[in-house]
A = this chain, B = another copy of it.
Amino acid sequence: METTWADRLRAAGLRVTRPRLSVLDVLAEHPHADADAIVTGARELHPSLSPQAVYGVLKALVATGLARRIEPAGAPALFELRVGDNHHHLVCRSCGAVADVDCAVGAVACLTPSDTAGFVVDEAEVVFWGLCRDCRAVAPAEAAQVPEQDNRGGVRA
């Protein structure tokens, strides 16, 4: 990695602090971590780190575009460092695992709703819901009737 996290923080007009580097480190290792996981992970590098500090750091990172916040329905917010590359997400209904997926073929069509109802659209967010490989393996029978999580609606395949 040529540009260090410290460089990127400075470039974004943020001071380089230990909590911020710790959080960035955790995010680099766990690309879709929630605030709690980040606190736990970052404490290995900076034991005195408080949850509020993490929230503050994440807010700063998101505000400056270094990180992105994603909020899957029914789960705490997740944070990721992949920004500006137009990717979407696969979310497992069972375990909540998240995987990145590059813009699908035909994605451009997604950006042009048939009727914008007067809205000026600046972003299209796509979330694919399903079961990850592990959860399929663990509970293939329950796959048809996902427990506690049906009827989120939307486009059915």
Which A residues have a C-beta under 8 Å from some C-beta of B?
A: 62-63, 65, 68-71, 73-74, 77, 83-84, 86, 88, 90, 92, 99-133, 136, 143, 150-157
Q: How many copies does the complex hold?
A: 2
Nearest neighbor of A65 in chain B, beta-carbon distance: B151
Report yes or no: B121 in contact with A90, Cβ–Cβ below 8 A: yes
Report yes or no: A152 in contact with B132, Cβ–Cβ below 8 A: no
For the complex of A and B, the 4 pairs showing the least CB-CB separation, nearest first, are: A106-B109, A118-B133, A68-B153, A71-B73
Q: In whole Å, how far is A29's beta carbon from the nearest beta carbon of chain B?
A: 18
Nearest neighbor of A64 in chain B, beta-carbon distance: B151
Nearest neighbor of A88 in chain B, beta-carbon distance: B113
Known: A73-B71, A74-B71, A153-B69. A101 touches B125 (CB 8 A): no
Q: In whole Å, how far is A145's beta carbon from the nearest beta carbon of chain B?
A: 11
